[in-house]
């Protein structure tokens, strides 16, 4: 089968491409614009891991630029598509909302139009736990309140879900959105908590812990995320009696306090962290926790990697990639 993956040089995109391309019956085409939101060297290093795979090809292109993705899509004619390209980071969206409009709204529409012109069997797209506002009940369930996201990033992801539903209803596109919860692991983004915390501990620099580190996060290991993406991709929603559209949470369902997360990193690294305890930020929710009942019933999904194991893998990769002395 032929699978097109946007955001292929990103954290989740790289891992999804690697898993798919390892299957000899799967031809994978990755698309990414390699922008400089964070170090392009990390994105190129991920792609270098994919280069030896015979079933993987890469095109550098901005999917938000009018007509670019449509042309690639029409030529490749994917059987399946995974749309992971987006502008991420809750806090960055407070100061740079225009980047989210271009990538997450304009770019998402370009993806929908490309799929409408040449419909694949199924398109899976990345949503986020950020669509849940502070009023949502714990654990977050897919039919819970998402009408008041606290960040502009979350608002754009909520808009993606509404846009996808309309295209499923109007054009019969088979679409599934996945609300990712606090993904971590090897090759992670440098702007996420695990990498920021690890770097600060290694360098002896202070760590800013908002909400005094008492916020709880549903940290989910990257291998569990990829398992969910690939399984969902191969099981499209049914068309009748409703539009072929659905939403699933993809998390771990075992939230921990951020301060405990830091303590676990301290033990693995062998150094104490310098903590700067700060008040909550307005764009942050107090807790994230994914209800997995719906996705478990649909495809039998259940996370397998405990936080202790996943963090150990992450620290090993961090030491190796950033060449941190033992």
What domains sit in the chain, N to C, each tagged with a CATH number? 2-184+219-250 (3.40.50.720), 193-217+253-289+305-321 (3.90.25.10)
The pLDDT score that the predictor gives to residue 241 is: 62
**Residue 66 pLDDT level (bands cut at 50, 70, 90):** very high
Which residue bears the tokens 């792609």? 47
What are the residue numbers of the active site? 153
Q: What is the mean pLDDT of residues 234-238?
A: 91
List Cβ neighbours of 215 (8 Å cut-off, separation of 6 or more).
257, 258, 280, 284, 285, 286, 287
- Judge residue 59's burial from the number of C-beta atoms within 10 Å of its C-beta, 0-12 exposed, 13-18 middle, 19 or more buried: middle
List Cβ neighbours of 57 (8 Å cut-off, separation of 6 or more).
27, 28, 29, 30
Residue 44 pLDDT more than 90? yes
pLDDT tens string 80-95: 999 999 999 998 999 9
Q: Measuring CA to CA, how many Å separate 140 from each of 132, 161, 221?
A: 7, 16, 18
Note whether 68 and 6 are within 8 A (CB).
no
**Residue 240 pLDDT level (bands cut at 50, 70, 90):** low
Distance, in Å, from the CA atom of 317 to the CA atom of 98, rounded to the nearest integer, reads 33
Q: Of the candidates 91, 86, 81, 63, which has an alpha carbon nearest to the alpha carbon of residue 123?
A: 81
List Cβ neighbours of 235 (8 Å cut-off, separation of 6 or more).
298, 299
Strand partners, 192: none
pTM, full prediction: 0.96
Q: What is the mean pLDDT of residues 253-267?
A: 97
Residue 242 pLDDT more than 90? no
Is 244 in a helix, a strand, or coil?
A: coil
The fraction of the chain above a pLDDT of 70, given in percent, is 99
What is the residue-averaged pLDDT of the chain?
96
The pLDDT score that the predictor gives to residue 171 is: 96
Q: Tokens at residue 50, please?
A: 């994919």
**Residue 325 pLDDT level (bands cut at 50, 70, 90):** confident
pLDDT tens string 172-189: 999 999 999 999 999 999
């Amino acid at each position: 089968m032929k699978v097109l993956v946007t955001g292929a040089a990103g954290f989740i995109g790289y891992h999804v491409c690697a898993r798919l391309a390892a299957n000899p019956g799967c031809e994978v085409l990755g698309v990414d614009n390699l922008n400089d939101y964070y170090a392009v060297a990390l994105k190129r290093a991920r792609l270098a891991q994919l280069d030896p795979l015979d079933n993987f090809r890469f095109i550098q292109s901005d999917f938000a630029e009018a007509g670019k993705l449509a042309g690639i899509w029409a030529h490749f004619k994917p059987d399946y598509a995974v749309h992971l390209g987006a502008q991420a980071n809750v806090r960055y969206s407070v100061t740079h909302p225009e980047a989210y409009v271009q990538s997450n709204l304009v770019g998402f529409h370009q993806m929908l139009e490309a799929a409408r012109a040449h419909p694949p069997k199924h398109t899976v797209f990345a949503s986020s736990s950020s669509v849940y506002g502070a009023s949502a009940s714990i654990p977050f369930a897919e039919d819970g309140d998402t009408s008041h996201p606290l960040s502009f990033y979350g608002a754009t992801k909520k808009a993606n879900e509404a846009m996808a539903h309309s295209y499923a209803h109007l054009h019969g596109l088979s679409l599934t959105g996945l609300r990712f919860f606090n993904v971590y692991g090897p090759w992670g983004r440098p702007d996420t908590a695990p990498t920021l915390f690890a770097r600060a501990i290694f360098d002896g620099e202070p760590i800013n812990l908002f909400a005094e580190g008492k916020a709880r996060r549903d940290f989910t290991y990257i291998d569990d995320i990829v398992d969910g993406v690939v399984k969902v991709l191969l099981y499209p929603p049914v068309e009748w009696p409703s539009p072929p559209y659905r939403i699933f949470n993809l998390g771990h369902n075992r939230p921990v306090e951020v301060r405990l997360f830091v303590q676990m990193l301290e033990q693995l690294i062998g150094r104490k962290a310098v903590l700067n305890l700060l008040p909550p930020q307005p764009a942050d929710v107090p807790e994230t926790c994914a209800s997995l009942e719906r996705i478990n019933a649909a495809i039998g999904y259940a996370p397998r990697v405990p936080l202790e194991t996943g963090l150990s893998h992450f620290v090993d990769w961090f030491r190796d990639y950033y060449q941190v002395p033992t």
